[in-house]
Structure 1
Amino acid sequence: MEKVTEINTWADCAADLVAVAAGRKPADLVIRNTRLANVQSREVLDGWEVAVIAGRFAYVGPDAGHCIGDGTEVIDAKGRYLIPGLCDGHMHIESGMLTPAEFARAVAPHGTTTMFTDPHEIANVLGLRGVRLMHDEALMQPVNIYTQMPSCAPSAPGLETTGYEISAEDVAEAMTWPGIIGLGEMMNFPGVVNGDPQMLAEMAETMRAGKTVGGHYASPDRGPAFHAYAAGGPADDHEGTRESDSIDRARQGMRSMMRLGSAWYDVESQITAVTEKGLDPRNFILCTDDCHSGTLVNDGHMNRVLRHAIECGCDPMVALQMCTINTATHFGLERELGSIAPGRRADMILTSDLAALPIEQVFARGVMIAQEGRMLADCPHLDWPEDARQTVHLGKELTAADFGIEAPEGANSARVRVIGVVENQAPTEALIRELPVIDGLVEGEGGTCQIALVERHRATGGVVNAFVSGFNYEGRMAMASTVAHDSHHMIVVGTDRENMALAAMRLGEVGGGVTFYKDAEEQALVELPIAGLMSDSPAHEVAAKADRLVAAMAASGCRLNNAYMQHSLLALPVIPALRISDLGLVDVSTFQLTSLFAEEPA
């Protein structure tokens, strides 16, 4: 495995940078005969060359011959494009089902050399200690992984119960850690709008530290509430799904982060703000938000997003800026990364096509870490403590009776609220369905099946039951997952209560993950022993198990694109319209708990 250079500050190696650029000292690495994609000026410079020393660019110009000495490694690019390493502006490592080390190993061959990560998933399970574990492993990697301190655990106070809660004091402490770049997405937008003291204190601590506040305004309201949220300090937002969303954010001085994850397809509908409306592209950033291991292994990471933006009509150099220099500038790192320019970290990619973007060679800090899809550098692991692997506490043996929904006395049918899944989008619909009652219990039918949230942090034995539509499952089945954004209890979706109980108990047995049962037999299992969220197994092994899960879902009638990601977000009470929590059904339009049973229309 290649040994990647430790990060030297620009100041520490300025003398060497100057000496190499002037020709007084030989470079460590020179790459000749490139077509350099200069994202600073948005132009392709034929024949340009770069010289690297101490992991940073020293010379970037038409001829680096004067930088070559006896010990210099020289690479002839043979006219290929040299582009900056790709940056993901907003993402959650836990969504990949992988630890930071294994996530880095999975995405670096796709050209991602910088990530801005919000570990609020593990914060909900293990609190500040979990964030520190993620932060520490991130700093060990050969690529740049910056950590945003989670802001909202719980995401919606009073509407859910987490394993741990994040305080303003926790945020203040984290701002002193070396790898913290800012505050994670401020999901509690009603709290900001209403002047909640803790939300304002967290943002204030971040600003005092000179760092960036991440945004999350998941509401269509563009009235005073939207303007109040912008005034509170969030500097970006990734929750847009329409062209007008990206325009409105840019006009308020926020960066519009357009995401293409495993299940969120929000680039095509928003990038027209640049390609058709002509807005300044400097205020637009590409990101993934959530990508599971199957996507990473089979489809790619930020290279996938970049290609998609180009396919949507964006100029390749503009799209490249949106996942390099724009991202670095947003986080105050323009002088550190995001471009091929003197003094910056030597993170770069050689590719033979700027649009199709085959990732042929990847360099981080001046060392080739991947080639033709193969990782060459080591990705060190933390020794994750045992209590981080023992986080599923059910409190009792669950049976089919725990998943029964009693109907009003004497009813032959029941009018109920149903969570409606929307393909390729995070928001859900709030539906009303008339469902049959059999032996006193409400039963799903016609594409509507049961959903349950099982408490798993405090061993209360609590189960909340409701209904969900859109997965179109057939037969006697159940799928259970301890990945249940963001409080990460356990979500169980099924057509049969016995299978639901079996699936839930199986996850208690293995310490967390995702399982699929059909006719009382397990069809697929993805073990996620770390916090019930992540595996420290290699990405290709996790992806293979995830593929079996997807196949099991499809064999039971589910045809949704990346339905697992839809499943995992059904307990997130900060995205409209209807969600489930350990406290009941949540009407996100009013931020209040609501009854499962709907009243008859007037």
Structure 2
Amino acid sequence: MKKEDLKNLIKKAKGEEKPELVFKNANLINVFTKEIIKTNVAIDNGKIVGIGDYSGIEEIDLNGKYLSPGFIDSHVHIESSMSTPSQFARAVMPRGVTSVVTDPHEIANVKGIDGIKYMIEESKNSPLDAYFVFPSCVPATPFENSGAVLDADVMEELIDGKNVIGLGEMMDYVGVINYSDKVIDKLLVGNNTIIDGHGPMIKDRELNAYVAAGVKTEHECTTPEEMIERLRLGMYILIREGSATRDLRKLIGAVNRENLSRILFCTDDKHPEDLINEGSIDYNIKLAIEAGIDPIDAITIAALNPAICYNLKNKGAIAPGYDADLVVIDNLEDFNIISVYKKGKLVAEDNKPLFNSDVFLPDHMKDSVVIKDFDIDKLRIPMTSNRANVIKVLPDSLVTDISNRQINVNNGCFEYSNDDILKLVVVERHKMTGNVGLGLIENMNLKNGAIGSTIAHDSHNIIVVGDNDEDILLAINELVKIGGGITLVSNGEVLRSLPLEVGGIMTTKPIEEINIILKEMIDLSYNKLGVNKDIDPFMTLSFMGLPVIPKLKLTDMGLFNVEEFKFVDISLSNA
């Protein structure tokens, strides 16, 4: 803050001069004292200058409506909205989210350091404050091929405490607990910042080692027992409610006044439809209130706690000197958001953004899908028995199970039958290695077609599921043709595609338009292809290639057992 700005703030706080704006008759939610106070709030030059008896140049009478600090999403991958940062802002700011902590490891896996710089610059085209953490695991493991490799020396260039405030989720927990030199170098770069965790399987002494290495947060808890174990070691717990993984109802019962200060909310990965229809962090708050959490406590979790955890100064509360990031709410039962202010300026009203976003797209962020010559023979799965390791999809979870299934074999290869065992294919699309991973998957129920995508966490290779090789091949070719995206095919015909021209994982289209196209495609997948309605077809498919979430996943290098941390054969012994 400049000297004159500070003098001005003090003058306005003392009442020597009128502030620009005063909210009159607000029910102020005080996250420090857990009170609701009927008062006025004075704002000037984007800052709260005082609370109490003020009059302003402009005055807005809230007539007893509730005034909350803006919400902070403590862990989100903006890329999962399929939108650029400035378009993403148009979806979340009407929901009261005024700041996000975002890990751009999706685009970093495709475009490396250029992708991170693009996200930082593009985020400046909206009022949303985006704080970045540097992706710590690009690629996530050595068991897949991504578009880039980011080591510690590259990190030092960008971790500046301003745009990049810490080290992103440390998925390579094996590297941490076995003190891999490459991982230790990364941890040392992030040593004076926040280091995010990603260790759903770690416990006991190995968990102690993980925390001792400097990891401070965890968003992968799926049971209260995991959550309590990590809280006892001083970690912050980020309770996640995303599209594919919904943990809040399972965890919120373990939150109490004693551990409340270590609890945050996040969305992690949320699709456009869910962002628009459910919301963002406001949805976490609503669910928490429904589960019996005091509304002021829920708002504290959503605002003050992430500001403290991530050292976001002057955010997360309504008090003198804090940023005037404010949410006007009708009542604390229904929790309907009326309007949102960012640094004292109205940015959203009645669930609509009141700002435009000037999206830009440099040429180097396009044309990211390149594969080696591909034909249908590459889709054949050789089998040495008629029993197979099969990936079993579970509803509302990134975790899969492992099924031991009997299959049809013809001429030494897997043969499709009328049951629910489908073929899953991952094709490397960054460096033309020619790698093709082949596997089998169940519980998706897809019939007469294929679904393909270049959104495949975290390396974002081409991933396709289908019940016949012809449609799988067509889906692969369509994704190459459109430069990446999502496609549905059936009986030799492309039903619908959503091109994602930004690295094959985002588009510059307005998020409302993305939502319309995606909804049409989801309806087609359910009603035309018969996909299991208990799963989100695209979000679920996108995580079938992630070899850090149990139990069985597929990368371009093969079928991977996450619990054993090794590749396994599709074929099982008949014995």
Instruction: Give, as a single letter, the amino acid of the residue that structure 1 aligns with 2:81.
Output: G
Could you tell me which residue of structure 2 aligns to residue 109 of structure 1?
A: 94
Could you tell me which residue of structure 1 aligns to residue 110 of structure 2?
A: 125
CA shift for structure 1 position 439? 4.2
The answer as to whether partners of 2:436 and 2:557 remain within 8 angstroms in 1 is no
The answer as to whether partners of 1:401 and 1:497 remain within 8 angstroms in 2 is no
The answer as to whether partners of 2:175 and 2:183 remain within 8 angstroms in 1 is yes
CA shift for structure 1 position 15? 1.4
Q: Report the 3-state secondary structure (helix = DSSP H, G, I; strand = E; otherwise coil) of the residue aligned with 2:554.
A: strand
Instruction: Give, as a single letter, the amino acid of the residue that structure 1 aligns with 2:555.
Output: S
| Structure 1 ranges of 4+ moved more than 3 A | 9-12
The answer as to whether partners of 1:263 and 1:563 remain within 8 angstroms in 2 is no
Report matched runs for 1:419-458 at 5 Å: 419-445=391-417, 446-458=419-431
CA distance in structure 1 between the partners assigned to 2:508 and 2:188 by the alignment: 35
1:136 aligns to 2:121 (yes or no): yes
CA shift for structure 1 position 407? 2.5
CA shift for structure 1 position 352? 0.5
Could you tell me which residue of structure 1 aligns to residue 570 of structure 2?
A: 596
Could you tell me which residue of structure 1 aligns to residue 345 of structure 2?
A: 367
Question: Larger deviation: 27-36 or 349-358?
Answer: 349-358
Q: Report the 3-state secondary structure (helix = DSSP H, G, I; strand = E; otherwise coil) of the residue aligned with 1:360.
A: strand
Task: Choose from 303, 310, 313 the match for 1:331.
Answer: 310
Report matched runs for 1:15-164 at 5 Å: 15-46=7-38, 48-61=39-52, 63-65=53-55, 68=56, 72-157=57-142, 159-164=143-148
1:392 aligns to 2:369 (yes or no): yes
1:525/1:314 CA distance change after superposition, 3 Å: same
CA distance in structure 2 between the partners assigned to 1:447 and 1:593 by the alignment: 24
The answer as to whether partners of 2:383 and 2:570 remain within 8 angstroms in 1 is no
Instruction: Give, as a single letter, the amino acid of the residue that structure 2 aligns with 1:451.
Output: L
Task: Choose from 295, 317, 332 the match for 1:316.
Answer: 295
1:407 aligns to 2:383 (yes or no): yes
Q: Report the 3-state secondary structure (helix = DSSP H, G, I; strand = E; otherwise coil) of the residue aligned with 1:269.
A: helix
Could you tell me which residue of structure 2 aligns to residue 4 of structure 1?
A: none
CA shift for structure 1 position 246? 1.2
The answer as to whether partners of 1:394 and 1:455 remain within 8 angstroms in 2 is yes
Q: Report the 3-state secondary structure (helix = DSSP H, G, I; strand = E; otherwise coil) of the residue aligned with 1:317.
A: helix
1:89/1:11 CA distance change after superposition, 3 Å: farther
CA distance in structure 2 between the partners assigned to 1:100 and 1:110 by the alignment: 16
CA distance in structure 2 between the partners assigned to 1:518 and 1:349 by the alignment: 46
Task: Choose from 478, 487, 490 the match for 2:450.
Answer: 478
The answer as to whether partners of 1:456 and 1:489 remain within 8 angstroms in 2 is yes
CA distance in structure 1 between the partners assigned to 2:239 and 2:561 by the alignment: 26
Q: Report the 3-state secondary structure (helix = DSSP H, G, I; strand = E; otherwise coil) of the residue aligned with 1:423.
A: coil
Q: Report the 3-state secondary structure (helix = DSSP H, G, I; strand = E; otherwise coil) of the residue aligned with 1:268.
A: helix
Deviation per CA, 1:126-160, whole angstroms, max 9, x where unpaired? 11111111011223321111111100001112x11
Q: Report the 3-state secondary structure (helix = DSSP H, G, I; strand = E; otherwise coil) of the residue aligned with 2:444.
A: coil
Task: Choose from 239, 263, 267 the match for 1:288.
Answer: 267
1:433/1:531 CA distance change after superposition, 3 Å: same
Could you tell me which residue of structure 2 aligns to residue 5 of structure 1?
A: none
Could you tell me which residue of structure 1 aligns to residue 199 of structure 2?
A: 217
CA distance in structure 1 between the partners assigned to 2:280 and 2:432 by the alignment: 37
CA RMSD of the aligned region, Å? 1.5
Q: Report the 3-state secondary structure (helix = DSSP H, G, I; strand = E; otherwise coil) of the residue aligned with 1:456.
A: coil
Deviation per CA, 1:395-421, whole angstroms, max 9, x where unpaired? 22x33322121233xxxx621111111
Structure 2: 5+ residue stretches without partners = none
CA distance in structure 2 between the partners assigned to 1:257 and 1:598 by the alignment: 39
1:550/1:486 CA distance change after superposition, 3 Å: same
The answer as to whether partners of 2:219 and 2:238 remain within 8 angstroms in 1 is yes
Instruction: Give, as a single letter, the amino acid of the residue that structure 2 aligns with 1:362.
Output: V
Could you tell me which residue of structure 1 aligns to residue 189 of structure 2?
A: 205
Report matched runs for 1:228-247 at 5 Å: 228-247=209-228
Report matched runs for 1:495-534 at 5 Å: 495-534=467-506
The answer as to whether partners of 1:97 and 1:533 remain within 8 angstroms in 2 is yes
1:487 aligns to 2:459 (yes or no): yes
Deviation per CA, 1:44-72, whole angstroms, max 9, x where unpaired? 112x11111110100123x223xx2xxx2
CA shift for structure 1 position 599? 2.6
Q: Report the 3-state secondary structure (helix = DSSP H, G, I; strand = E; otherwise coil) of the residue aligned with 2:302.
A: coil
Task: Choose from 314, 317, 324 the match for 1:346.
Answer: 324
1:10/1:284 CA distance change after superposition, 3 Å: farther
CA distance in structure 2 between the partners assigned to 1:16 and 1:144 by the alignment: 24
The answer as to whether partners of 1:399 and 1:498 remain within 8 angstroms in 2 is no
Structure 1: 5+ residue stretches without partners = 1-8
Instruction: Give, as a single letter, the amino acid of the residue that structure 2 aligns with 1:172.
Output: E
Q: Report the 3-state secondary structure (helix = DSSP H, G, I; strand = E; otherwise coil) of the residue aligned with 2:496.
A: strand
CA distance in structure 1 between the partners assigned to 2:252 and 2:557 by the alignment: 38
Deviation per CA, 1:77-110, whole angstroms, max 9, x where unpaired? 0110001111100010000000001001111111
CA shift for structure 1 position 514? 0.5
CA shift for structure 1 position 184? 0.6
Q: Percent of aligned pairs with the same residue?
A: 33
Instruction: Give, as a single letter, the amino acid of the residue that structure 1 aligns with 2:554.
Output: I
Instruction: Give, as a single letter, the amino acid of the residue that structure 1 aligns with 2:324.
Output: A
CA shift for structure 1 position 296? 1.4
CA shift for structure 1 position 562? 2.0
Instruction: Give, as a single letter, the amino acid of the residue that structure 2 aligns with 1:239.
Output: E
CA shift for structure 1 position 460? 2.8
CA shift for structure 1 position 312? 1.9
Could you tell me which residue of structure 2 aligns to residue 248 of structure 1?
A: 229
TM-score, length-normalised on structure 1? 0.93
Deviation per CA, 1:200-246, whole angstroms, max 9, x where unpaired? 21121112xx3210110021x42221111111111100000011111
CA shift for structure 1 position 11? 6.6
The answer as to whether partners of 1:172 and 1:202 remain within 8 angstroms in 2 is no
Instruction: Give, as a single letter, the amino acid of the residue that structure 2 aligns with 1:386.
Output: D
Question: Larger deviation: 363-372 or 20-29?
Answer: 20-29
CA distance in structure 1 between the partners assigned to 2:14 and 2:26 by the alignment: 21
1:535 aligns to 2:507 (yes or no): yes
CA shift for structure 1 position 177? 6.9
